[in-house]
Structure 1
Amino acid sequence: MYETILSPVNYGGLQLKNRIIFAPTTFGLPDEEYLAEVRRLAEGGCAMLIIGDVPVGKSKFEKSLFDAKGFAFYQQIVEIAHKADCKVCAQLHQSDSNMMAMLKYIPAVLAKKLTPDQLREKLNAEVEPYITKMPKRKIEAILAGFGKAAVLAKQAGFDMVQVHGDRMCGSFSSSIFNHRTDEYGGSAENRARFAVEAVKAVHAAVPEFPIDYKLAVRQEDPHYGNAGVLVEELPVFVPLLEQAGVTSFHVTLANHSALENTIPPASHPAFGQPGCFLKFCDAVRQYTRLPLCGVGGLNDPDFVEQQLASGRIQCAAMSRQLLADPEWVNKLQKGQAKTIHRCVRCNKKCLGGLMAHQGTRCIYDARREEK
């Protein structure tokens, strides 16, 4: 019944056993719990896990490929996934948060005078001067890091890398944040330069490796997202990224507004419907024939099958739905679609848990633990 979902696909040079991908997700869990979640997701039948926010340099805040402990942790993730016949993609990213600016807000956060949303607003306000004033030597060092990280990701066993097109790539791309007057600012071609050079660095370092690109699209009228690329700028950005070495696009809404926009609940005024970001895939499709991965409110197998069978997208990415029921794919294979725990997009324990520093979880967790 779900022939397309369950059929293999060549996704940008990587053969996947089916069309379902676990979308990059921040978990905020202790290592043991996180690895257990990786195991559940991989054994649940999805074709690939995208491991979010793998830094392109040494980091005090995240697991890094550039130190022995972090490298070994990523190797564990890969080993767990591969045992379940699940591919793994490393999402290479560089934060666009000004860490020095962040330090001045820590006392207010610790004293609970700043909520997580208020902190986010203040950090977003720091992005424009940080990107606009960044010295070229720092830009060059970060870009070189993308290539070095790709080499390490391959050595750790990852099957693919994804260049995170939000974060720093997205902020350089955005006319809202990027007010530079050199070759990295101004025109759409110039604002695309940082992302294009990041992809080129990866491609030069691991020439035959598949490169996914998280393409963050900014929407106007009504306005959502502040980083990323306007729909009108896609004719510039998409061909340049493809020429640089991108082999597939993971298309979504741009970040740097409220998290409820990029992780929209069912009650969201603009993105409450299933497949809420697929319209951005339609826009990207006009400028490339590369495989597209869609995301956003994809919880109904019948709806997902329709989008895949029509060729609108080649893969479907999910986070909240696979957290609600990691066995989503296995249940389809067994003819048990009616037993799937459907994500209701309430955001209570996933986004809510993360924002409360309790980790990304799900309202169905208690039911799962009872079994």
Structure 2
Amino acid sequence: MYETINSPLNYGGLTLKNRIIFAPTTLGLPWEEQVERLRRIAAGGCAMIIVGDVPVLPHGFGPSLYTKKGFAQYRALAEAVHGEGCKLCAQLHQSDADLKAMLKYIPGVMTKRISKEELRPLLNQQVSPYITGLPAEKVKKITESFGTAAELAVQAGFDMVQVHGDRMCGSFASSLMNHRTDEYGGSLENRARFAVEAVSAVRRSLPELPIDFKLVVRQEEPHYGNAGVLESELPEFVPLLERAGVTSFHVTLANHGELTDTIPPANHPAFGMEGCFLRFCDAVKQVTHLPVCGVGGLTNPDFVEEQLRTGRMDCAAMSRQLIADPDWPAKTRDGRADAIHRCVRCNRACLGGMMAHQGVHCIYEGKTND
């Protein structure tokens, strides 16, 4: 019944057994628990898991590819996921958070004068001056590190890398956030230079490696997202990335707004519908022949099958749905779609758990998946 969902695909040089990908997600769990969560999702039948926010520099948030412990953690994860017949992709990430600026808010957070909800916009306000003021020589060192991190990721067992096109890449690309006057600012070609250099560094280090790119699009009328590029800039931006070596695109809404915009609940005024970000896939599809992965509130197998069958997207990425029911792919494959625990996009235990520093969970936890 779901022939397209369950058909294999050459995704930018990597063969996937079906069209379902676990989207990069900050889980906020202890590492052993995170490995087991991802192993369970792999066992449920998805074709590939993208591990979010793998730092490209030796010092970053999360396990480091550069340390013996961090490298071993990633290797153990790769073995666990591969053991379930699933591919693994490392989302290479560089934060655009200004650590010095963050420090001045710590007393307010500790004394609860600044709430967690208030902290995020305060930190977002520091991004633009931070990336605008970064010395060019430091920028080049960061982009070069994407190549080194990719080499280490492959050694650790990853099958593919994704360059995180949001965060520092997206902030550099955004005319709202990037106010530089050197070769990294001004024109779109200059604002795209960070992303192009990062992809090129991976391609030089690993000429045959598939490179996915998380392509983030800023929406106007109404305005959502502050990083990334406008739809009108895609005809210039996408070919620059293709020439640098990108082999596929993972398309979504740009960040640096409200978390409930990029992780929208079912009652979101603009993104409450199934497949809420697929309009951005439509725009990207017009300017590339490379595979495109769609994301955003995908829960209904009938809807997902239709979008894949018609070529609106080539893969479907899910996060909350595979946390709600890791067996979504297996159930569609085995004719048990009526048994799927459909994500209701309430954001209570997933986004809510992350914001409360309790890790990403689901209201369905403890219930049987059969």
Please name the residue that 1:239 is paired with. 239
**Does the alignment pair 1:364 with 2:349?**
no
Matched, 1:35 2:61: no
Which residue number in structure 2 is paired with residue 145 of structure 1?
A: 145
Q: Secondary structure at the match of 2:366?
A: helix
Matched, 1:66 2:66: yes
2:100 maps to 100
Q: Which runs of 5+ in 2 are unaligned?
A: none
Q: By how many angstroms is 1:144 displaced?
A: 1.2
Percent identical: 67
- The TM-score with structure 2 as length reference comes to 0.99
- The answer to whether the 8 Å contact 1:250/1:293 transfers is yes
- 8 Å contact kept, 1:117–1:258: no
Counterparts of 1:271-282 in structure 2, within 5 Å, are: 271-282=271-282
State the Cα distance separating 1:168 from its structure 2 match: 0.2
Name the structure 1 match of 2:210.
210
Describe the superposition over 1:140-180 as per-residue Cα deviations: whole angstroms up to 9, x where unpaired. 11011101000001101100000000000000000111000
Amino acid at match of 1:71: F
Q: Which residue of 2 aligns with 1:172?
A: 172
Q: How far does the alpha carbon of each residue in 1:90-135 deviate from its partner, in whole angstroms, 9 at most, with x for none?
A: 0001000001111111122222222222111111000111011100
Distance in 1 separating the partners of 2:317 and 2:24:
9
| Aligned residue identity for 2:220 | E
SS of the residue 1:367 aligns to: coil
Letter in 1 for 2:11: Y
**Matched residues in 2 for 1:61 and 1:335: separation?**
41
Q: Which residue number corresponds to residue 313 of structure 1?
A: 313
CA contact (8 A) 2:144 2:197 kept: no
Structure 2 partner of 1:327: 327
- Native 8 Å contact 1:166 1:227 kept in 2: yes
Q: How far apart, in 2, do the equivalents of 1:117 and 1:171 lie? A: 21
**In 2, distance between residues paired with 1:117 and 1:89?**
31
Distance 1:3 1:113 in 2: 54
Contact persistence 1:218–1:253 (CA under 8 A): yes
Preserved CA contact (<8 Å) 1:253 1:262:
yes
1:249 aligned residue: 249
Q: Distance in 1 between matches of 2:60 and 2:88?
A: 24
- Cα distance in 1 for partners of 2:59, 2:178 equals 24
AA of the residue aligned to 1:162: Q
Give the whole-Å Cα distance in 2 for the aligned partners of 1:115 and 1:76. Answer: 37
CA distance in 1, matches of 2:329, 2:35: 20
Would you identify which runs of 4 or more consecutive aligned residues in structure 1 move more than 4 Å?
none
CA shift, 1:366, in A, is 2.4
Letter matched to residue 23 of structure 1: A
Q: Is contact 1:250–1:292 with CA below 8 Å preserved after alignment?
A: yes
Partners of 1:299 and 1:197 lie apart in 2 by 36
> Secondary structure of the equivalent of 1:322?
helix
Does structure 1 residue 158 correspond to structure 2 residue 174? no
Q: Secondary structure, in 3 states, of the residue corresponding to 2:280? A: helix
Letter in 2 for 1:295: V
Q: Are residues 163 and 60 of structure 1, via their aligned partners in 2, closer, same or farther at CA, if it must alter by over 3 Å?
A: closer
What secondary structure is seen at the aligned counterpart in 1 of 2:311? coil
Shift of 1:59: 2.3
Match for residue 2 of structure 2?
2
TM-superposed deviation, 1:60: 5.1
**Per-residue deviation, 1:332:** 1.3
> The residue matched to 1:41 in structure 2 has which SS?
helix
1:2-151 equivalences in 2 (<5 Å) = 2-59=2-59, 61-151=61-151
Q: How many residues align?
A: 370
Structure 1 unmatched ranges of 5 or more:
none
Q: 1:181 and 2:173 equivalent? A: no
